[in-house]
Amino acid sequence: MDWSQSLRLIAPEETLTIAGLVLLLVAAWAGDKAARAITWVAVAALAGAAAFVVPALCSGATGPDTVAFLGQYRADAFASFAKLLIYGAAGASLLIAPVFFQRYQAYRAEYPVLILFAALGMGMMVSAGDLITLYIGLELNSLAAYVLAAFLRADDRSAEAGLKYFVLGALASGILLFGMSLTYGFTGTTSFEGIRAALDGDLATGALFGIVFMLAGLAFKISAVPFHMWTPDVYEGAPTPVTTFFATAPKVAALTLTMRVALDAFGGQADAWRQIVIFVALASIVVGALGAIGQSNIKRLMAYSSINNVGFMLIGLASATHSGASAMLVYLAIYVAMSLGGFVGVLMLKREDGEQVEAISDISGLSSTRPGLAAALAMIMFSLAGIPPLFGFWGKFVVFQAAVQADLIALAAIGIAASVIGAFYYIKIVKIMYFDEPADVVKGRSDWIHQGLLCLTALFISPLGYFLTIWLGGLADTAANSLFPAI
């Protein structure tokens, strides 16, 4: 084993670790006065880490050269693609936070540090080549996330969100660990490569149980039905920048991790887990769509929307093919932009005194009072509903294309028909903003960071996004190649 090689491969993790530890010390001595400066340094650290992963993605790194620490860790193109999305989403969650917390006099220097550690954990999740790395990354991310959810100490809802997330997250970790131990017991190894080789041929019932329990644990992390119950409560209770973070970065990490586990470790047994994934996908689409209809809080609605979107992405996983994996990555990239834009838009809904507006009824008639913001939100809603020519359609398109190519036509037909249910609540938001009389509640102004991020994401999901399809599809294909070395 070549230590220097391994240490070079984990450069992004090293950057984040060192930055996180140093900033923690700075925070301890300089106190909360330095919080803003620490935020900017943390963003710079994320950008630096991102710069380290770009070459691996562009060169399509795969194979033994990308394996560090005896197969524990992989710095391949697939991990790099996911890391770019994670670091980008984490950076955005940092940028939008100070203004929000300032209002509650609650911006503390721990916030950027916790985000950095969470990003570090997520980086390890997506790079995991072994069950142990997987679990450590997952827990590092989760522990940081539990604290972040409860970050507004004075707010009961935030504390409740943190506690709920912690209890249910611990339960899910337990389920996952149980599955991992079964898998280890029946395969005799914790490395993905070894598991794949050991599971070749007939599947033992115990190993099947291992697969089921591991997928159940992961389904909790990606908030797929039937393990989605925590999502609306946590999304609603957590401070909005933290919700933004939850809806984007950990989603990417958990989904790509699920892909790696399903397609790599259990790749030879796709027929064993396909029906589970199909059920989870369809259930997520339907429950996400139906659950959102009755919501009166926009953050809860976005939570159901994310459940719904995860369902669509899992359709790509169910196909268990290269094009399915590539389609999921494309969808993830678009989904991150849509969620980011959606939550930044929600953050910009403020009363005159700066108080956040979360009730859907309060944004009625927004298009006459704040036309730009309303137009951006309407675009995001239509895009989430998957109506062309907005870019959200493209994500659904590639996923369904992969499903049809894999001969899962019934799944594709049911899934797309269920998307019409989802369209109902998205267009309801548009109706409230455009057709109803102005409630004239949203009057507060936002700073340039929010406006810039909203413009950027809105441009990305606008029809202009289609000009990126060749580039994005190419990158996703390269990344997916790492999961399917044969191709």
Partner 1 sequence: MADFPILSLMLAVPLVAALICLFVEAKGARTIALAATLVDFALGVLLWANYDIGGAQWQFTERVELFAGFSYALGIDGIALMLIMLSVFLMPICIGASWKSVDNRVGEYMGSFLLMETLMIGVFTAQDLFLFYIFFEAGLIPMYLIIGIWGGAERIYASYKFFLYTLLGSVLMLIAMLWMVNEAGTTTIPVLMAYDFPPGAQTWLWLAFFASFAVKMPMWPVHTWLPDAHVQAPTAGSIILAGVLLKMGGYGFIRFSLPMFPEASLEFAWLIFVLAMVAVVYTSLVALVQHDMKKLIAYSSVAHMGIVTIGLFAFNVQGIEGSMLVMLSHGLVSGALFLSVGVIYDRLHTREIDRYGGLSINMPKYSLFFMLFTMASVGLPGTSGFVGEFLSLAGIYQVSTWVTLVAATGIILGAAYMLYLYRRVIFGEQKNEDAAKMPDLDLREWLMMGPIALAVLWMGVYPESFLAPMRADIAALDARVARVKPEGDSLLKLAEPAIEGEATESDDHGEEPAHGGAH
Interaction site with partner 1 (CB under 8 A): 368, 382, 387-389, 393, 397-398, 400-401, 404-405, 409, 412-413, 416-417, 419-420, 423-424, 427, 430-431, 434-435, 466-467, 469-470, 472-474
Helix, strand or coil, per DSSP, at residue 471: helix
Q: How far apart are CA 352 and CA 356, in angstroms?
A: 10
Instruction: Provide, rounded to whole angstroms, the least separation between the CB of residue 57 and partner 1.
Output: 17
Q: How far apart are CA 84 and CA 178, in angstroms?
A: 31
Q: How far apart are CA 300 and CA 421, in angstroms?
A: 17
Q: Residue 409, class by beta-carbon neighbours within 10 Å (0-12 exposed, 13-18 middle, 19+ buried)?
A: exposed
Who's near 407: CB < 8 A, 6+ residues apart? none
Instruction: Provide, rounded to whole angstroms, the least separation between the CB of residue 289 and partner 1.
Output: 12
Q: How far apart are CA 454 and CA 456, in angstroms?
A: 5
Instruction: Provide, rounded to whole angstroms, the least separation between the CB of residue 296 and partner 1.
Output: 18
Question: Among 453, 475, 466, 461, which residue's Cα sits nearest to residue 96?
Answer: 453
Instruction: Provide, rounded to whole angstroms, the least separation between the CB of residue 423 and partner 1.
Output: 6
Would you say 18 or 293 has its CB closer to partner 1?
293
Euclidean distance between the first and the last CA atom of the chain, given in angstroms as a whole number: 27
Would you say 474 or 485 has its CB closer to partner 1?
474
For residue 277, the one-letter residue type is V
Instruction: Provide, rounded to whole angstroms, the least separation between the CB of residue 390 and partner 1.
Output: 8
Would you say 6 or 401 has its CB closer to partner 1?
401
Q: How far apart are CA 339 and CA 458, in angstroms?
A: 11
Would you say 356 or 469 has its CB closer to partner 1?
469
Give the residues across from 128 on adjacent strands: 73
Would you say 416 or 455 has its CB closer to partner 1?
416
Would you say 92 or 403 has its CB closer to partner 1?
403
Q: How far apart are CA 443 and CA 105, in angstroms?
A: 21
Instruction: Provide, rounded to whole angstroms, the least separation between the CB of residue 86 and partner 1.
Output: 24
Residue spans of alpha helices (H) in 348-391: 366-369, 371-385
Would you say 2 or 437 has its CB closer to partner 1?
437
Helix (H) or strand (E) holding 257: helix 240-260
Would you say 354 or 473 has its CB closer to partner 1?
473
Nearest 5°: phi and psi at 12?
Answer: -60, -40
> Which two three-digit tokens encode residue 134?
């997987």
Would you say 220 or 400 has its CB closer to partner 1?
400
Count of Cβ atoms closer than 10 Å to residue 117 Cβ: 23
Residue spans of alpha helices (H) in 188-204: 192-198
Instruction: Provide, rounded to whole angstroms, the least separation between the CB of residue 388 and partner 1.
Output: 4
Would you say 44 or 464 has its CB closer to partner 1?
464
Q: How far apart are CA 113 and CA 90, in angstroms?
A: 11
Instruction: Provide, rounded to whole angstroms, the least separation between the CB of residue 446 and partner 1.
Output: 21
Instruction: Provide, rounded to whole angstroms, the least separation between the CB of residue 466 and partner 1.
Output: 5
Who's near 75: CB < 8 A, 6+ residues apart? 9, 10, 53, 56, 61, 66, 68, 127
Who's near 486: CB < 8 A, 6+ residues apart? none
Instruction: Provide, rounded to whole angstroms, the least separation between the CB of residue 27 and partner 1.
Output: 45
Question: How far does Cα 103 stand from its chain's mean position?
Answer: 27
Would you say 163 or 423 has its CB closer to partner 1?
423
Give the residues across from 73 on adjacent strands: 68, 128
Question: Among 143, 141, 138, 135, which residue's Cα sits nearest to residue 192?
Answer: 135
Instruction: Provide, rounded to whole angstroms, the least separation between the CB of residue 403 and partner 1.
Output: 8
Would you say 172 or 328 has its CB closer to partner 1?
328
Instruction: Provide, rounded to whole angstroms, the least separation between the CB of residue 441 and partner 1.
Output: 20
